[in-house]
Amino acid sequence: MSGNGSGSDVVRLSVPDMDCASCAGKVENSVRKIDGIDAIDAGVTTGTLTVEYDGETTSADEISGRVEKAGYAVEDDSSQVTVSVPDMDCASCAGKVENALDSVPGVRSYDTRPTTGKAVVTTDSSASVGDVTAAIENAGYEVTGTSEDERGESPRSSESVWRSSRAIKTWISGVFVALGLLFEFALTGQNATVVAGATAVGNADITVADVSFLLAVLVGGQAIVTNGYYSLRNRNLDIDLLMSVAILGALVVSVGFGKSLYLEAATLAFLFSVAELLERYSMDKARNSLQELMDLSPDEATVKRDGVEETVPVDEVRIGDIVVVRPGEKIPMDGTVTTGESAVNQAPITGESVPVDKSEDDEVFAGTINEGGYLEIEVTSEADDNTLSRIVAMVEDAQANKTEREQFVERFADYYTPVVLGFAVLVTVVPPLFFSEPWVKWFVYGLTLVVLSCPCAFVISTPVTVVSGITSAAKNGVLVKGGNHLEAMGEVEAVAFDKTGTLTKGELTVTDVIPLNGNTEDDVLRCARGLEARSEHPIGDAIVAEANGANVAEHEIEDFESLTGKGVRADLSGTTHYAGKPALFENLDFDLNHVHATDGSVAVAETRDLCERNDCLDLLEETVPSLQREGKTVVLIGREDELEGIVAVADEVRPEATAAIQRLRDLGIDNLVMLTGDNERTAKAIAEQVGVDEFRAGLLPEDKVEAVEELDEESGSVHEQRSWARRTSSGGVAMVGDGINDAPALATATVGVAMGAAGTDTALETADIALMGDDLSKLPYLYDLAHQANGVIRQNVWTSFAAKAALAIAVPFGLVPIWAAVLVGDAGMTTAITGNAMRLARIAPSDRLGE
């Protein structure tokens, strides 16, 4: 939300029916009942209500609700625009832009994002996009485009930073600094006086070296002082204003009091400019990781219209168009294959390392790569609404959800700068006044502290890490929809899994075919397909698919009948056959305790020597229970007078599930639970197979919610017993499901993780985190990435703070020259923090699972 320069948030609401003093009083009294309200301005003539409030205590939605409870409708006349501001690349810059936006009537809220160089601004009808861009430009920042006019430019490339006009001026300034040092310390005989003068307190002569230093300040300090002017005009106490004060202060002391501080002023101007370039370069590295996502989708598409191919911009492609994609080309739009077959590399979307075969009627995504064949694709979504576009938008929006650490650092920064500036004043004034120390010496120390008073390094430490982690995850097929979710995922103490579609594939398949009484597997499958071909049950579909894959011959089917709750009956090639539960055949008077397997080695159940043959099976006591203990559904196939075979069907466990569970346990998550609505026997079989710690079966959706709440309480109590050093969040539980059927449990969990979200709007919208492909191995990668990201944030915050504190404490002892304050305390820490954050990009799913 927008601030007002005093730490409060501001919301402006349109209340057209509030048209008299009595109405305004009623609305004000209703709103004041909310805690955290700082000020209310009811504009009767304009029908607008402006409220200043504490964003940590209440929200704009709650204020709007109180207005409606007073009997007045709140009209939503707001619009949102995203403004590209590439030069807004630090917290200080963002603060300046925010102060500028505060002065624009009609701006309801904003979200500045220095890590991407964008500001998302919400306005009412009284403010235009032009008003917003003008305010930002008046703050000293160029607007390169908006979402409304689609003129947005890509972030600066890392190479362009060093060839920018700012860089050229910096290098020229450096040359003058070098010349000044040469005359000051090496060519002292040639360091003649250029301007002679005196002041009441000392000699004011200006030498050749001083002229070089002044030229360095003039060239290198121009941008600094200009930015400082904008900061002062927008009442923003940031690094530009502080550095401007330091540089101009050094010059005033030199000229006005005859105490030569030209070298210090020149050093500040040059080194701070270098620091700014390094900061821009470091920030561009973070921005480029997101830009790589944006660049995945091609700018043009080959469209077939009226039988003729033409190349058009992707923005001109419409739903229903047929796009042509040849081998090696990127697929430009989401769509469905209408012609052709090919292997498609879906790694940019789902993170899958192996290309996926695509043929007619298969879904494909924008940004994926056609590896081999020719494809014609019918477009199913607009360019700005395809899967890749939604991913990019959600990754950008993820910065709006600030982590607990980020909020803490921002609150701390509000106190840091005033405290250090106060310390700088004391260091400058106290020793000369009370201990007769030299003024110049302690003035320089004060300037050094002014340089160290900017909190940019540790303010940027969290967002740059979050951006690195979220974009790295997106490149590996994991969409994290907020820094708060990334932080929470790294601290969870328990993970709950849905069974169907998560630990298992969610599709029934035939796992065992046991021929009996002299039949072959093909005989059993032939009869099974004939019986199940007209069945609408998923088990029947699985059996038919297996038989089709085995290419067995077909029966002539007549007189089909579904035996509800038991099975099916049909005449196959003139002979009556049955398929169904063991109980069906018991009712037909079969002796299921004494049947013969065609091949004893094929039977998975134990054999019993009940007769002269050792392939005798006891189906009721041994074979069927053995299969059922493995979580399989058993279907018997037979004629009226003889059993022909057994078919076992199961929802197969994902091949990566067991390894993923073990990897999570290796990473330190000790509480792994499976939640399912399936029966106890099947749940137990799957739980044992994948290795979860416990399972809960027979759960309805509301039961899963209750189970997640219990796990959350348990994990919270465990978390409280951990070392204080790790208490950065409340522990919690992650729920992993399909994003639709498990929506209540996903919403209840600390973090909801949806499986297979690529192309699924509901899963993308509802989950906190989405695994874009059906690959459970991404889950331990996600936890590892999030856990390491939390560690990197802690390292960045505390290292930057410790460095600043150590330098500040050392200043009065003469241990920190002003150049060290600039290079180490500002540029050095910013570069180190960004480099540390970029390490997250090295974490990959295959590396973490040891593949």
Separation CA 132–CA 557 (nearest Å): 73
What span, in angstroms and rounded, lies between the C-alpha atoms of 806 and 37? 39
What is the rounded distance in angstroms from the CA atom of residue 842 to the CA atom of residue 826?
A: 26
CA 507, CA 590: separation in Å to the nearest integer? 31
Nearest C-alpha neighbor of 302 from the set 384, 370, 391: 370
Residue 737 CA to chain centroid, in angstroms?
A: 18
3-state SS assignment for residue 402: coil
The helix, strand and coil proportions of the chain, stated in percent and rounded to the nearest 5, come to 50, 20, 30
In Å, how far are 412, 433, 447 from 251, measured between CA atoms? 32, 22, 12
Q: Exposure of 220 by Cβ count < 10 A (0-12 exposed, 13-18 middle, 19+ buried)?
A: buried
| C-alpha to C-alpha distances, 82 to 12, 79, 110, nearest whole angstrom | 19, 10, 10
The answer to whether residues 561 and 681 touch, using CB atoms and an 8 Å cutoff, is no
**Long-range contact pairs involving 33-39 (C-beta distance under 8 Å, separation at least 24):** 33/66, 34/58, 34/62, 34/63, 34/66, 37/63, 38/8, 39/8
Antiparallel, parallel or unpaired: β 342-345 and 356-358: antiparallel
Measured CA angle at 379 (ends 374, 384), to 5 deg:
125
Cα dist. 803→202, 246, 477, 800, 825 in Å?
Answer: 37, 21, 37, 5, 7
CB-count exposure of residue 19 (10 Å: 0-12, 13-18, 19+) = middle
**Are 348 and 387 spatial neighbours (Cβ–Cβ below 8 Å)?**
no
The residue with tokens 């290098």 is: 171
- Say if CB 515 and CB 523 are below 8 A apart: yes
In whole angstroms, give the CA distance from residue 360 to residue 305: 20
CB 496 within 8 A of CB 734: yes
Between the CA of residue 352 and those of 24, 637, 778, 850, what are the distances in Å? 59, 40, 10, 16
HSE, CB side, 13 Å, CA atoms: give it for residue 847: 9
CA distance 459 to 314: 39
Residue type at position 829:
M
DSSP for 226-289 reads HHHHHHHHTT---HHHHHHHHHHHHHHHHHHH----HHHHHHHHHHHHHHHHHHHHHHHHHHHH
The residues facing 533 across adjacent strands are none
What is the residue-wise DSSP string for 796-829?
HHHHHHHHHHHHHHHGGGT---HHHHHIIIIIIH
Q: How far is the C-alpha of 275 from the C-alpha of 824, rounded, in Å?
A: 9
Catalytic residue among 498, 523, 678, 775: 498
498 labelled catalytic: yes
CA distances, 202 to each of 255, 258, 761 (Å):
10, 5, 74
Residues marked active site are found at: 498
